[in-house]
Structure 1
């Protein structure tokens, strides 16, 4: 039977997640180490993703995170939910093998609307690989020209759906930078070693790593995060539950790593912490139930109108207390927070913590 713990103070939930997500006093040594620990980090907004890594790697600058992507030490692709994520290169293949088929079924109707049959995907694959293997990585615009010239139209989102299909099936991947955009590379060239795992082994490992890096979390959180069937998730979980701690709170069962659970006894960090997190950060986005760190009454201020676009958040002691924005550029750039109405005014210590967080972000940008 897995170790058990009980939680009575709801404010503790966010601080436990800070520790799991390397936002407490346990930051990672490098971008590659951090992404490997987090397992997958949403990255549809590239600039936000760079800071999501940087805020968890003490002393890292934006150049360090870009270099990790540019070298292939961190890769960006569509491993789950039809959304771009940062992952470790050795993990991408087994993630795709777990999730691609289910996602393909979910968008089959859209592909029919766009006139994309499997033969079209195969033709696009051949066109893309012929060009990339002979001349090297290519821009998205350049690849779409190749598709168009080869009889695979790209208008009306058809091009991006073709590209997504080729990436989900492990033929293409986003590769090195060209300015502020990533070129598209051949998967087997850009990632010469990416593991293929049996489905049961892959899913069990996925579960274990999610709860270690995101816990406390529920099985439903993981099923939403990956869009894998909850029934299959529950079956695979039996293989790893002994390696996790069961946490009961308000009638719901959560799971987390023993190391983080031990902080409940030895001292949980983060009571006076303040973080400036990017939009789409895993601390907010990585769960289907976000109420432990975000008051439901403020949810529309983070995702206005439920449009799926997450704003930057101010997080104090594991609780989202407002949003923030960067105003100005260069030496005149400043971080401007906007705290939620009714939030207790910041005292001197909180103001100092905010100033340190802002200084850290500005330093990250100019590294």
Structure 2
């Protein structure tokens, strides 16, 4: 590829983030499905993240609006994909997410489960057992209503059994094999997390076959074609970014990333000495947006969107990210992270600045915290990955 055509500085990157991620005034999304499209997908490891990520980008969005998109319109679908992470994808993205991300995860999960059940002495032929277990689940779900894991386990002896982990360790115990079968089937695109028996803050999935829930199976395609599509969508949402960013976000290989970049009409740009990429029809400079602030939830797609984060995270990695790279809730101002937030024991939002900001920014953050408090209505959200700073001060 040719040398970078121009420099894209931090100010422009932050302006692109604000517009493309529906955070700037005048750029917000109309629906939760539109918000997901603008970000390729929404993180769903924490069930509440999906709702709060959408709420930050869709003025006036109610919990019922997102429930409708997930469970009635089914324009959004929960799906295990890149980096073995649960996301919510726009329905039309499913074939590409399956080919470009989920299939790789499925292969690893299948091999790992077979190895572990054989090592545990549960089955001498783990592959045969897993095939039989998968077929039994699909048969049980065929043509029926979405079903909980508990009901499937009780009806299907092939899902019963457990393995030891961490033997001799204080954190050791037993892990059931049944949920792992559903993990494999979901990553293979054969079943989906359909309805939810819990509230918006918890995950108590009922399972359905993909065909029954979406009205069709996921059409197969080559991995590289799925990766090409995902890379283009990422560049349009998160670009400019580096090969390293793309490799990390996809959970893929540099070889596949480079194949995708070669197949797309992209241009190189200079990211302060690093080589970045933009789609060729999106390479013109963009101007700064109006001032904006946001309180984004843990694992928000914007916070987690790049591997190289210094241009928006600055020196705040240690107080906001755990050692595994999971981000807690963050305060944003004009495309950069300026602090974190959490809820106290009464469910009230508490903000904590990590750097000095202007008084109007402080006031805007306070106003947004009050709006989030009102939206939460006193309900406390329990996070799987709270930020280190919240543990320190909460």
By the TM > 0.5 criterion, same fold?
Answer: yes
Question: Does the alignment pair 1:313 with 2:322?
Answer: no
Question: Does the alignment pair 1:189 with 2:209?
Answer: no
Residue 320 of structure 2 aligns with which residue? 302
Q: Is the 8 A contact 2:240 2:277 kept in 1?
A: yes
**Offset of residue 19 of structure 1:** 2.0
Question: Does the alignment pair 1:84 with 2:89?
Answer: no
Q: Is the 8 A contact 1:280 1:310 kept in 2?
A: yes
| Structure 1: gaps spanning 5 or more residues | none
**Offset of residue 263 of structure 1:** 5.2
Residue 133 of structure 1 aligns with which residue? 142
Question: Does the alignment pair 1:344 with 2:356?
Answer: yes
Residue 285 of structure 1 aligns with which residue? 304
Question: Partners in 2 of 1:73 and 1:162 — Cα distance?
Answer: 26
Q: Is the 8 A contact 1:214 1:256 kept in 2?
A: no
2:273 corresponds to which of 238, 251, 263: 251
**Offset of residue 52 of structure 1:** 1.1
**Offset of residue 363 of structure 1:** 4.3
Residue 168 of structure 2 aligns with which residue? none
Question: Does the alignment pair 1:113 with 2:113?
Answer: no
Equivalence map 1:142-157=2 (5 Å): 142-147=151-156, 149-150=157-158, 152-154=160-162, 156-157=175-176
Residue 206 of structure 1 aligns with which residue? 230
Aligned to 2:6, the other structure's residue is in SS state: strand
Equivalence map 1:29-108=2 (5 Å): 29-71=30-72, 72-107=74-109, 108=111
Aligned to 2:316, the other structure's residue is in SS state: helix
Q: Is the 8 A contact 2:49 2:297 kept in 1?
A: yes
RMSD: 2.7
Question: Does the alignment pair 1:164 with 2:183?
Answer: yes
Query: What TM-score comes out, normalization by structure 2 length?
Result: 0.81
Q: Is the 8 A contact 1:20 1:215 kept in 2?
A: no
Q: 1:268 to 1:256 in 2, by over 3 A?
A: farther
Which whole-Å deviations, capped at 9, do the CAs of 1:276-309 have from their partners, x for residues lacking one? 00000111212111111112x42121123x1444
How many aligned residue pairs are there?
352
Q: 1:135 to 1:102 in 2, by over 3 A?
A: closer
Q: 1:364 to 1:112 in 2, by over 3 A?
A: same
Which whole-Å deviations, capped at 9, do the CAs of 1:58-111 have from their partners, x for residues lacking one? 221222112211122111120221110110123223322333443345443454
Q: Is the 8 A contact 2:100 2:230 kept in 1?
A: no
**Offset of residue 47 of structure 1:** 0.2
Q: 1:214 to 1:151 in 2, by over 3 A?
A: closer
Query: What TM-score comes out, normalization by structure 1 length?
Result: 0.86
Q: Is the 8 A contact 2:96 2:229 kept in 1?
A: no
More helix by share: 1
Q: 1:257 to 1:235 in 2, by over 3 A?
A: closer
Q: 1:153 to 1:97 in 2, by over 3 A?
A: farther
Aligned to 1:238, the other structure's residue is in SS state: helix
